[in-house]
Amino acid sequence: MDLQAARIALALALPFLGALGIWLSGRTPNRREAVTLSAAIALLLTVLSLLPAVLAGERPAWTFGELVPGLAIAFRVEPLGMIFALVAALLWPINSLYSIGYLRGNAEKHQTRFYIFFALALFATMGIAFADNLITLFIFYEFLTFSTYPLVTHKGNEAARTAGRVYLGILITTSIGLLLPAIIWTWSLTGTTQFREGGILGGYLDGPLLGLLLCLFMFGIGKAALMPIHRWLPAAMVAPTPVSALLHAVAVVKSGVFTVVKVLLYTFGIETLQGQSAADWLLYIASFTIVVASIVALRQDNLKRRLAYSTISQLSYVILAAAILAPLSLVGAALHIAAHACGKITLFFAAGAIHTAAHKTQVSQLRGIGWRMPWTMGAFAIGSLSMIGVPPAAGFLSKWYMLVGAFEMQQFLAVAVIILSTLLNAAYFVPIVFSAFSTPRPDDAATHGEAPLPMVIALCTTAALTLLLFLFPRIPLQLAEQMVGYAP
């Protein structure tokens, strides 16, 4: 096992060992939180240490073992996985800081269980990011579903149980009912499930059958929340906000779209899909999801639900960008995974901060709150800009690449959808910011200030990241370009 392989193993082992450490130190909260933070920071350093090699064109790999003859549990760090792993590893320490503030501020129960499953979810995320074949990816994909179930149902009441049923029901039905047969079909056709540049299905399938397999994959990856299998995402919003923030803005949903892009690029292959009319539907369904989810978001008064529908719409941006099948739009897709993660986690952090400090959950209650919580609402404004795609926020960059790619392929439908949804995004985010900074109602007797300090630090950091990603996009851009085969 060489050094690079050891780093991959370490990146997987750290969250797992972290979970173990949290369990063992569960009786002393301070030590427990210290374990969480140190595991998170150690993971970030490990992932960063892999970066130079990947940028230099290397592809570190590690094989854990063989499941059955011919099916290996293997990992390989390619540029897209690197971006995803970086995003998750970067946001975990920040999120942990936030969680500490949130859980203590709201006096939540079962905090040890919360941190354990959180770390396990990160373990699964790392496995997904580095997976070298479909089977490894599937294993960690399922692990992620089950390890997040106790987080979604954290409150343990009737509402949480119902939401947990929807969450598990949809994710398991799609993954076992559609994704698994798709993977086995692929294996039965090609004798491999490895992710290879250019895809593995070329020459094996075409016409309607290819469309069917694509359908199995795209709807099987329920975490990507394509309509009509998006219902689990709003349902999961009963979870405590840190869960919604990291898992439903970063780890879980991004695992979905990451898998989508990976399957399109490395299982089907762009060239196999180009010119296949049976694959066109993906573009339409993604467009439909973007527009409809935005319209639904517009009508939500609950802040977290509005953010949830916004996430559904933003996820389909990534799918749309990949479905355009142009190299530049694929760069946009990869960048959007990072950009949306930073922006959306900021928004969720802000929503949680408002809930903790002011105990407010509805958009209509937020008038004038910006004057009491300037840092929170300032960060919220930056996050909103990124969602809309306005400079100087990271969302602008990814949208730019998507648009250029769409023009290149003359996909004017996609262009129209992106522009329309930009307007819709503005329509449901700008009013929140405006009313937050308008004069409070005269009968407003609120006396609260900002949320606890760790939360404010966390949300300001992610807001800053959103801006920095716009100003210094060199590393993710290089990785994304490598992914589509541009010379670095």
On whether the CB atoms of residues 47 and 86 are closer than 8 A, the answer is yes
Query: What is the smallest separation between the CB atom of 180 and another protein, expressed in angstroms?
Result: 7
Query: What is the smallest separation between the CB atom of 325 and another protein, expressed in angstroms?
Result: 28
Query: What is the smallest separation between the CB atom of 161 and another protein, expressed in angstroms?
Result: 5
Choose among 217, 12, 40: nearest CA to 124. Answer: 12
Token readout for 267 is 């299982």
Residue 108 or 142: which CB sits closer to another protein? Answer: 142
Query: What is the smallest separation between the CB atom of 21 and another protein, expressed in angstroms?
Result: 19
Choose among 325, 339, 188: nearest CA to 264. Answer: 325
Residue 65 or 275: which CB sits closer to another protein? Answer: 65
Residue type, 12: L
Give the Å distances, CA to CA, from 337 to 47, 85, 388, 450: 17, 11, 15, 30
Residue 109 or 359: which CB sits closer to another protein? Answer: 109
Residue type, 362: Q
Query: What is the smallest separation between the CB atom of 160 and another protein, expressed in angstroms?
Result: 8
Residue 151 or 433: which CB sits closer to another protein? Answer: 151
- CA-to-CA distance for 369 and 376, rounded, in angstroms? 9
Residue 165 or 231: which CB sits closer to another protein? Answer: 165
> Where do the H-state alpha helices sit in 131-179?
134-152, 158-174
Residue 161 or 299: which CB sits closer to another protein? Answer: 161
Token readout for 289 is 């999801």
Burial of 472 (0-12, 13-18, 19+ CB in 10 A): exposed
Report the 10 Å Cβ neighbour count for 27: 8
Residue type, 380: F
Q: Which residues of 279-316 are buried (b: 16+ CB within 10 A; e: fewer)?
A: beebbebbbebbbbbbebbeebeebbbbbbbbbbbbbb
Query: What is the smallest separation between the CB atom of 366 and another protein, expressed in angstroms?
Result: 33
On whether the CB atoms of residues 268 and 335 are closer than 8 A, the answer is no
**Which backbone phi and psi does 164 adopt, to 5 degrees?**
-60, -40
- CA-to-CA distance for 231 and 263, rounded, in angstroms? 23
199: left (phi over 0), alpha (psi -120 to 50) or beta: left
Residue 126 or 456: which CB sits closer to another protein? Answer: 126
Query: What is the smallest separation between the CB atom of 1 and another protein, expressed in angstroms?
Result: 18
Q: What is the DSSP letter of 2?
A: -
DSSP string computed for 238-300: GS-HHHHHHIIIIIHHHHHHHHHHHIIIIII-HHHHTT-GGGTHHHHHHHHHHHHHHHHHHT-
- CA-to-CA distance for 65 and 461, rounded, in angstroms? 39
Token readout for 204 is 């094996």
Residue 187 or 284: which CB sits closer to another protein? Answer: 187
- CA-to-CA distance for 37 and 40, rounded, in angstroms? 5
Residues that bind another protein (CB under 8 A): 65-69, 73, 135, 138-139, 142-143, 146, 153, 156, 161, 165, 168-169, 172-173, 176-177, 180-181, 184-185, 187-188
- CA-to-CA distance for 280 and 6, rounded, in angstroms? 42
Q: What is the DSSP letter of 221?
A: -
Query: What is the smallest separation between the CB atom of 169 and another protein, expressed in angstroms?
Result: 8
Residue 67 or 419: which CB sits closer to another protein? Answer: 67
Query: What is the smallest separation between the CB atom of 190 and another protein, expressed in angstroms?
Result: 13
Query: What is the smallest separation between the CB atom of 62 and another protein, expressed in angstroms?
Result: 15
Residue 57 or 177: which CB sits closer to another protein? Answer: 177
Query: What is the smallest separation between the CB atom of 66 and another protein, expressed in angstroms?
Result: 5
- CA-to-CA distance for 91 and 246, rounded, in angstroms? 7
Query: What is the smallest separation between the CB atom of 61 and another protein, expressed in angstroms?
Result: 19
Residue 51 or 189: which CB sits closer to another protein? Answer: 189
